[in-house]
Structure 1
Amino acid sequence: MPKGRRRDRIIERTSVYSAEINRNQPACLLLLIDQSTSMQTSWADTGTTKAGQLALAVNRILGNAVLLCSKGDDRVYDYFEIGILGYGTGVRPILHGSAPGRELLTISHLAHNPRRVDQVVRKVSDGAGGVVEVLTPIPVWVDPVADGWTPMVAAMEAAERVVTAWCATHPRSFPPIVMNITDGQSTDGDPSAAAARVRATGTSDGDTLLFNVHLSSGARNQAMFPESATGLPDRFASMLFDMSSPLPPSMLAAAGSLGYAVRPGSRGFAYNAEATTMIEFLDIGTRAVTPTGLLQLTAGPDPMR
């Protein structure tokens, strides 16, 4: 061995994506959220804006993540860490309680520190064939914002810094999952090189996974988990495809179980996604850190130890 080279610092990248997720080896989920002015436009038939619908979905992810890591009392086990970077008027951490230099927060911190708790009216069965309206508390960590441009290059560069630091302190964990959600083209240049640097980070279990979701204002030319750029409508769609990582086996299986025609080589990419398909995409894309799936987190026992 060459002088000065330490064996315990050599970590080979195996790309098996099978590392156990536990409190000693937590997972990392980093969301990049487009907060540009165009996100204030209405989203198809959802009755709200893209920014509003996306905030609802993200708060749902966080709430379900807290449930997954809870043990029926006030204990919340830190199986993973979450960060959210918003990009519009600059790039900044937007998860309540985060700050520059502290972009990732443990799930226990989120559980005990929501921005607020909203009371939402929901219709539930009354057990006799009818429905009743009940007030349901919904924790909120992220509010909708739509202001500024789309500095995607800067967002990718910020993501690279965050996951590089995380991987250095968690070298044997499941690699980070970075999900970029946008409705428009980058306004500060081509983000491809910065995205490649994000994917080049990782742990001994594999390269960082980078997935991209483009939000639609209507159902047209939708693409979900394609295996090639053939048939994509324009250069921007092809660029986002090239920026996206292939789905590892567990996520391929999850996509297949939801009826998507996927095969080895299908990428974590959605173009012109509608609200329902975006939620399914988030479910599949976070399947590694939430093995039962975001849509079924409370339906069964906790699969983590």
Structure 2
Amino acid sequence: MYSAEINRRQPACLLLVIDHSTSMSETWAGGTMSKADQLALAVNRLLGNAVLLCSKGDDRVYDYFEVGILGYGRGVAPVLYGSSVSRPLLPISEVALNPNRVDHVLRKVPDGAGGLVEIQTPIPAWVDPVADGWTPMVEALRVAAWIADGWCRQHPASFPPIVVNVTDGQSTDGDPREAAAQVRAAGTADGEALLFNAHLSATARRAVTFPHDRDELPDEFARVLFDMSSHLPPTMVAAADSLGYPADAASKGFLYNADVTALIEFLDIGTRAVTPTGLRDLSVGPRSSG
């Protein structure tokens, strides 16, 4: 299980479910930007990396991925630029060609003489920061389950969908555990859908990464998110370990009180470990099946 290779006939599915509630306007612990701003940057970085990894170093982008993003706050809706209610998932090649805009940021790079120089670096942006409304997590997960189930019916032999829910607060429309179970129940011949959860905090508190014992979690909200989360399959355990996170077969795909670095790495683990040797292999060498 969780070993199917991905190619254009058997693509992978990545669905992000991101909190757009008003509290996302608060400053993220340990930083100067709001949680909404930092989350948008992390998601845009993730999509940019996925495009690069599916390009094999040339101008062509191969459709190893289908991607969708649901925002939940003042309602639940697809927010990936170019997507819609009737088409919530887009092939990665279409994502690559149609960013909402291209931002430019200053980055320091080596100048070739032992120093650093600042240059303007283009950063494609597919999503914008939003902080408006409540936290209808139950509705968001039910929509995610519907999307994941439909995708699985069309791709019965593919690696199962990876669904990542990122939130900073408790659900305002009921207990989300039943809806989370509906997400996980979607699946392919290679296993059930994987649902991972990341919690962001406005205050500096002890972070919990890939826990395996709910009784050691700090509060009931953390235990709810733990209950909602899938166990990490072996490839993702290895990916987490390579980034210095203690993880084993009992670990769940769950972060609590995550900082910016942990969230970015958490998203990366979910996208680069969908084959036995990692998604990074897609960017090197030919694939007879692709």
TM tier, smaller: over 0.9
Q: Does 1:75 align with 2:66?
A: no
Amino acid at match of 1:33: I
Name the SS for the 1:236 alignment partner: helix
Instruction: Please name the residue that 1:196 is paired with.
Output: 181
Shift in Å, 1:288:
2.9
- Structure 2 matches for 1:1-305, cutoff 5 A? 16-289=1-274, 301=284, 305=290
Cα deviations across residues 43-97 of structure 1 (Å, max 9, x unaligned)? 1232211000010010001111111111444311100100000000000000000
Please, what TM-score do these two structures have when normalized by structure 1?
0.90
Shift in Å, 1:258:
1.7
Cα deviations across residues 145-176 of structure 1 (Å, max 9, x unaligned)? 00000000000000011001000000000000
Are the structure 2 counterparts of residues 302 and 49 from structure 1 closer, same or farther at C-alpha, using a change threshold of 3 Å?
farther
Contact persistence 1:59–1:140 (CA under 8 A): yes
Name the SS for the 2:214 alignment partner: coil
* Structure 1, unaligned runs of 5 or more: 1-15
* Cα separation, 2, equivalents of 1:303 and 1:45: 43
Shift in Å, 1:292:
7.5
Larger radius of gyration: 1
Instruction: Please name the residue that 1:12 is paired with.
Output: none
Contact persistence 2:2–2:190 (CA under 8 A): yes
Are the structure 2 counterparts of residues 199 and 303 from structure 1 closer, same or farther at C-alpha, using a change threshold of 3 Å?
farther
* Cα separation, 1, equivalents of 2:275 and 2:35: 25
Shift in Å, 1:231:
1.5
Contact persistence 2:83–2:89 (CA under 8 A): yes
* Cα separation, 2, equivalents of 1:74 and 1:260: 34
Contact persistence 1:120–1:136 (CA under 8 A): yes
Shift in Å, 1:235:
0.9
Are the structure 2 counterparts of residues 251 and 258 from structure 1 closer, same or farther at C-alpha, using a change threshold of 3 Å?
same
Amino acid at match of 1:189: G
Instruction: After superposing the two structures, state which structure 1 stretch, 285-294 or 31-40, moved more.
Output: 285-294
Amino acid at match of 1:266: S
Please, what TM-score do these two structures have when normalized by structure 2?
0.95
* Cα separation, 2, equivalents of 1:41 and 1:291: 39
Shift in Å, 1:219:
3.0
Amino acid at match of 1:144: P
* Cα separation, 1, equivalents of 2:12 and 2:199: 25
Contact persistence 2:164–2:195 (CA under 8 A): yes
